[in-house]
Amino acid sequence: MPVYFDHNATTRLDPRVLEAMMPYLTGPYANPSSLHRFGRSARDAIERARQQLADLVGCQPQQVTWTSGGTEANNLALKGVADAQPGGRVLYGATEHPAVMEAAESLRSRGRAVEAIAVDHQGLLDWPAFAAQLASSPVRLVALMRANNETGVIQDVTRAAQMAHEAGALMHVDAVQAAGKIPLDFSALGADLMSLSSHKLYGPKGIGALVKRAEVDLSPLHHGGAQERGLRGGTENVAAIVGFGAAAALAVSELAMRAECASQLRDRLERAVQQLPGATIFGAGVERLPNTLQFGLAGYEGEALLMQLDRRGFGVSSGSACASGKGEPSHVLLAMGYPRDVAYSAIRVSLGRDNTVDDIDRFVAVLRELVAAGKS
Ligand SMILES: Cc1ncc(COP(=O)(O)O)c(C=O)c1O
């Protein structure tokens, strides 16, 4: 049986989520903006899901705006703030997902000064560098992810938000990888904006959300409809929204159990990987997502090892799914100060609900075999 170890790329649709979605795929089809009873019933389903999502992150339902996923939520946050609020620089963590990095970089063409914030060797924000950047000239927005998709490293967003607020800046948090894996509290983190995505937590693909404080002024990415209080026009994907809501509700009730199971498996795997010759665990020694292990084996190329593991029935990643195939080593590992050859060796294992101790032990046995057989 092939084993899927790529849950940070995406997860399987939970059958209970599919069950919640089915009536909205096969039954009621009305436009939620229609005023008749059919429309009102679709609207009610959307608002129930909004409450479920709000419960996942401890915010009010009216703070939730549906988007097509994490990428759109990040773009809406960064471009939306930049368009609505002139002046001030935009800062982003050097290990952000491309959906933040490239959205931020695109703001240069709109005349915004944009800067990356350095991280240390473990992937944590470089606090003195960040403080100096905040002090040097006005900052409008700081974007920092809660948890990294490659290493799983968890950032102290609360501290960053406090510093950002003292400097008069807003705080955006990409919580796409954190949601459903670790507790998430919008207010406690000090976030002004937060991005979420359904398919990372056993919900359907193509649906996400941006959570924002009511006071934050935001311009929409596109125009043409009054949906989502004018922030995201277009007829809503009711079934996907219902699915995201159901997945969020399951994440709330199963979070502790999922995290405990994942961390036991991950720690078992990490102990075994540490025994392999030339192994480097990226982000070792700092708080990480319970399901994620990124490591490198000296002299091995991550993508070649990935293909060998694939032939042996294991689906892993060599970095982020979006970056693989690009031929460039992970920008995350480069930002952490690893040389290119070490960054090229990276393999990411991201565990999920269906993985077992047996999966881990079989994977370790195959990894040992491949290493004993020589360089890939
Ligand atoms: C940290 C992070 N942000 C944003 C995204 C983009 O989310 P989506 O695939 O829903 O567009 C991802 C997806 O891998 C991610 O890991």
Residue reference for tokens 């063409």:
109
Is the CB of 174 within 6 Å of ligand 1?
yes
The catalytic position among 322, 328, 361, 365 is: 322
Collapsing DSSP to helix, strand or coil, 362 comes out as helix
Question: What is the predicted pLDDT for the residue at 372?
Answer: 87
Backbone angles phi, psi at 348, to 5 degrees: -115, 125
CB neighbourhood size of 257 (10 A): 10
* Residue closest to 210 by CA, chosen among 174, 164, 250, 247: 174
69 lines ligand 1 (CB under 6 A): yes
Average pLDDT, the chain: 95
The finding on whether 176 has its CB within 6 A of some atom of ligand 1 is yes
**Alpha helices in 275-323, H assignment, sequence order:** 302-311
d(CA 166, CA 155): 19
Is the whole model's pTM more than 0.85, yes or no? yes
Instruction: Report the C-alpha gap between 295 and 283 in whole angstroms.
Output: 9
Q: Are 316 and 5 in contact (CB under 8 A)?
A: yes
Dihedrals phi, psi of 121, to nearest 5 degrees: -65, -20
d(CA 220, CA 76): 7
State the closest ligand 1 atom to the C-alpha of 322, by its place in the atom list counted from 1.
14
Alpha-carbon distances, residue 101 vs 141, 143, 238 (angstroms) = 13, 9, 30
Give catalytic status of residue 322 as yes or no. Answer: yes
Q: Number of C-alpha atoms within 13 angstroms, CB side, residue 298?
A: 7
Q: Which residue has the tokens 């207010």?
A: 187
* Distance of CA 206 from the midpoint of ligand 1 (Å): 11
- Domains (range + CATH), the chain: 3-10+255-371 (3.90.1150.10), 15-250 (3.40.640.10)
User: For each of the chain's 376 residues, which pLDDT tens digit applies?
Assistant: 899 999 999 999 999 999 999 999 998 789 999 999 999 999 999 999 999 999 999 999 999 999 999 999 999 999 999 999 999 999 999 999 999 999 999 999 889 999 999 999 999 999 999 999 999 999 999 999 999 999 999 999 999 999 999 999 999 999 999 999 999 999 999 999 999 999 999 999 999 999 999 999 999 999 888 999 999 999 999 999 999 999 999 999 999 999 999 999 999 999 999 999 999 999 999 999 999 999 999 999 999 999 999 999 999 998 654 445 557 899 999 999 999 999 999 999 999 999 999 999 999 999 999 988 875 4
Query: What distance in Å separates the CA atoms of residue 150 and residue 153, rounded to the nearest whole number?
Result: 8
- Helix (H), strand (E) at residue 130: helix 127-136
Q: Is the dihedral angle over the CA atoms 330, 332, 334, 337 positive or is it negative?
A: negative
What is the distance in A from the centroid of ligand 1 to the CA of 67? 12
